[in-house]
Amino acid sequence: MSRWATFKLGYVARRNRVFASPKFQHWAARLPIIRWIARSRADAAFDLLAGFAYSQVLRAYVESGLFDVLRGGPLAAAEIAPRIGLSESAALTLLRAGRPLMLSEEPVADHWMLGEQGAVFASNPGVQAMVRHHRLLYADLADPLALLRADRADPTALSRFWTYAGALQGATERGTDTAEYSQLMAASQHFVADEVLAAVGFADVDRLLDVGGGHGAFLKAIGTAHPHLTLGLFDLPEVVATGGQVLADAVGRARVATHPGNFFKDSIPQGYDMVSLVRILHDHDDAPAQALLANIRASLTPGARLLIAEPMARISGAEPMGEAFFGLYLWAMGSGRPRSPAEIITMLKNAGFASARTVATAQPVNASVIIARA
């Protein structure tokens, strides 16, 4: 171990002993500048403790339809209660619980309206679909140690959902069976595509292939913004059968090529100067993820590029999202893990890419981007 590593470990140990001291906590709470820091740390600690309650308040707003009700505000609690199937006192409790979370607002006594965050959620059905979906994660995390001790091959609420959803991808998306999956994909791919469009230029790209592109939501967004692009969709045969038609209807048949196949077993189609891998790599464990990168590299001519877009670990300002949220989400799903940009770049070099670099995005909680050159 290096001297720097030894020093750093010693520093962290000493810091933790100081922070754990009741005398230090008492002293820090009374000095003006230190008091502000101590209070912010205390607030953060309470948010950590109460986070599940906050998420359940949000879930209640979504599942009760309260956001839609508050669109028509201002309304009294007595008017709201029957519309969401609660007693007046229960409705008032929920309204008040959402007030500090900015989901609801009471500008005038007993006149309830959407809060700032509530207005965002109310206007985006896709985001509400994500909130509904997270009930599966909450169920799996009811006993987090039991989840972590279990074999990853054991079924969970999340793994059953994704297995079922995967089986449905080739079907026509209609009815209640596929509605949640469709809304979830539309919302989440939209977020990623927006980050990519804001951060990556496609003026020097002619042909873009999306590997594991599903029903083409990402390609549709990129292709609509850049009409010069020829778009390729590679996924399982039953998926591209539907996805290719959806994409052709959106951007024109002449611009779309479909490639049925399995990206672990089949060669990646050649002739594209950029390949995209959107929220695919983190879904797979290290060995298959490394094999996928090698398979993509084998399809690329020198100078062609690979674009990776997904939430990543250890991103400044979005650290909890990477390892706290997606770490447990992917564990519950039974496959994959969030990786830091440094880890992914090492994997890319091991796969034979000549270079790789990160591209900053405005909202890394939605996606970070890496571009590698063959």
The gap from C-alpha 118 to its chain's centroid, in whole angstroms, comes to 20
Distance CA 142, CA 32 (A): 40
Give the C-alpha distances (Å, rounded to integers) separating 117 from 54, 70, 364: 13, 12, 19
The gap from C-alpha 185 to its chain's centroid, in whole angstroms, comes to 11
Q: How many other CB atoms are there within 10 angstroms of residue 19's CB atom?
A: 12
3-state secondary structure of 306: strand
Cβ atoms 331, 147 nearer than 8 A: yes
Q: How many other CB atoms are there within 10 angstroms of residue 20's CB atom?
A: 9
Cβ atoms 208, 202 nearer than 8 A: yes
Domain 31-122: which CATH number of 3.40.50.300, 3.40.50.2000, 3.10.310.40, 1.10.10.10: 1.10.10.10
pLDDT tens, per residue, the chain with 374 residues? 788 878 776 777 776 676 666 666 655 556 565 565 656 666 777 788 889 999 999 999 999 999 999 999 899 999 999 999 999 999 999 999 999 999 999 999 999 999 999 999 999 888 898 999 999 999 999 999 999 999 999 999 999 888 755 554 444 333 334 556 666 776 778 889 999 999 999 999 999 999 999 889 999 999 999 999 999 999 999 889 988 999 999 999 999 999 999 999 999 999 999 999 999 999 999 999 999 999 999 999 999 999 999 999 999 988 888 899 999 999 999 999 999 999 999 999 999 999 999 999 999 998 999 999 99
pTM: 0.84
Fold observed for domain 127-373: Rossmann fold (3.40.50)
Domain-wise residue ranges, the chain: 31-122, 127-373
DSSP 162-202: HHHHHHHTTS---HHHHHHHHHHHHHHHHHHHHHHHHH---
The strand ranges marked E within 214-293 are: 230-235, 256-260, 274-278
DSSP 75: B
